[in-house]
Amino acid sequence: MRHPAREVAADLEATVRLPAQPRRTGRLAVIDGLRLMAALMVALFHFTGLNLADSWGTGAKAVVFPRLIHITSWGWLGVELFFMISGFVICMSCWGRTAGAFARSRVVRLFPAYWPAVLISAAVVMLWPVARDPITVNQLVVNLTMLNEPLKVPSADLSYWTLWAEARFYLLFGLLVWYGLTLERVLWFAYGWLVVAVITVNVKEPLLTTVFQPTYAPYFVAGIAFYLIHRFGSDIRIWGLVALSWAMAMHMLVARVAYEAKALHRPMSLTVGMLIVTLFFVLLGAVALGWSSRVQWRWLTVAGALTYPFYLLHQHIGLTIIHAMQDVRPRLLTLAFVILVMLGAAWLLHRLIEKPLARVLKRKLEQASAAPRDSRRQPHSAVSR
């Protein structure tokens, strides 16, 4: 005899059940384009929105770009977009990988561009200390480890603070990779992270804040949720995760906007910030649902490859070039020139140093990882008496 309650439960379970295999495959070129967009947002913020060194030859950047500054003052939100993309891409790239493979991929992805960028940025600031004071040899060595932020050592470039936020995300997600990725586990992880982040805000314990970073957790989790939608399809649990991430992001923006307004000495509308971040959610949602799958322009892939070295190089080197060109008019031409120069420098760094070094580093790490499994230890001979 059929039981009505069981039939309803079975129908509900069938409605939310997700396929075991990915629905879509192939490179997501739009993600690469969004990466470059985020990097350009941050660069324009640094070049026209910040009250840093007097690189433009005037005491107030609002005088230099009185109209543009109303747009570029929001460029710092490119970091939030970076974190959302990171959640999406990290979840995608490590699905089915071991924890060791995940760790090696992060080392190969981060350091081959980072090491030369640190040395180049430090050298430029040492030779032309107009954007900031040079760092010491000890500070340079610590920067090369990428541990300068937790050790409270000045960064070779102020933009590098985001790398520490990314590293903490990698460590948390790496634990889940080590345990094994499944849809259910990722959902538990993501919801759990948001809940702990909320608790952390009230507890105000520095260690918990460092580990769970409540300010940026909603963006990483949103990226993870959008990848789950891309991989498995729409599901009420995943869309609930998106909604919760969005709500928490809106709340965290209150303090972020207030902080930036105080730092920039100009009023900033919370509503505008909320609309921009909501647009980020919409864009990644479109990617997750496959609405952008037909966009496969080759230049987007190139843009994605240039984003990381461009981000690493742009700030202090770009401001140094701007200082040298402060008498050139129109200043918009100088701004465009500096952006193009930094993109060219990023391409050279990527092609001449990052790619070759990444290949070598990847091969060495894989060899080192495989060595214990391939070796055959011989038993020690007993010492005769």
As a whole number of angstroms, the distance between CA 234 and CA 216 comes to: 24
DSSP string, 59-107: S-HHHHSTTTHHHHTTGGGHHHHHHHHHHHHHHHHTTT--HHHHHHHHH
Which has more confidence, 374 or 219?
219
209, pLDDT greater than 80: yes
Q: What is the pLDDT of residue 160?
A: 96
Domain ranges of the chain: 30-49+63-73+96-180+294-362, 182-293
Q: What is the pLDDT of residue 343?
A: 97
193, pLDDT greater than 60: yes
Over residues 245-250, the mean pLDDT reads 98
Q: Which residues contact 123 (CB under 8 A, 6 or more apart)?
A: none
240, pLDDT greater than 90: yes
pLDDT confidence band for 255 (50 / 70 / 90): very high
Q: What is the pLDDT of residue 276?
A: 98
Q: What is the pLDDT of residue 61?
A: 52
Measured CA to CA in angstroms, residue 370 lies from 161, 178, 328, 358, 378 at distances of 34, 18, 56, 18, 18
pLDDT confidence band for 252 (50 / 70 / 90): very high
**Under 8 Å between Cβ of 123 and 320:** no
Which has more confidence, 73 or 50?
73
pLDDT confidence band for 63 (50 / 70 / 90): low
384, pLDDT greater than 50: no
Q: What is the pLDDT of residue 382?
A: 42
373, pLDDT greater than 70: no
Side-chain half-sphere CA neighbours of 363 within 13 A: 5
Closest to 179 in 3D by CA, of 92, 89, 97: 97
Which has more confidence, 78 or 20?
78
When mean pLDDT is compared across 57-61, 88-92, 253-257, the lowest value belongs to 57-61
Q: What is the pLDDT of residue 294?
A: 87
As a whole number of angstroms, the distance between CA 55 and CA 71 comes to: 20
Q: What is the pLDDT of residue 50?
A: 75
As a whole number of angstroms, the distance between CA 253 and CA 101 comes to: 35
User: What's the mean per-residue pLDDT of the chain?
Assistant: 88
As a whole number of angstroms, the distance between CA 111 and CA 118 comes to: 10
187, pLDDT greater than 70: yes
pLDDT confidence band for 11 (50 / 70 / 90): very low
14, pLDDT greater than 80: no
Q: What is the pLDDT of residue 374?
A: 52
**Segment 118-169, tens digit of pLDDT:** 999 999 999 999 888 899 999 999 999 999 999 999 999 999 999 999 999 9
Which has more confidence, 65 or 173?
173
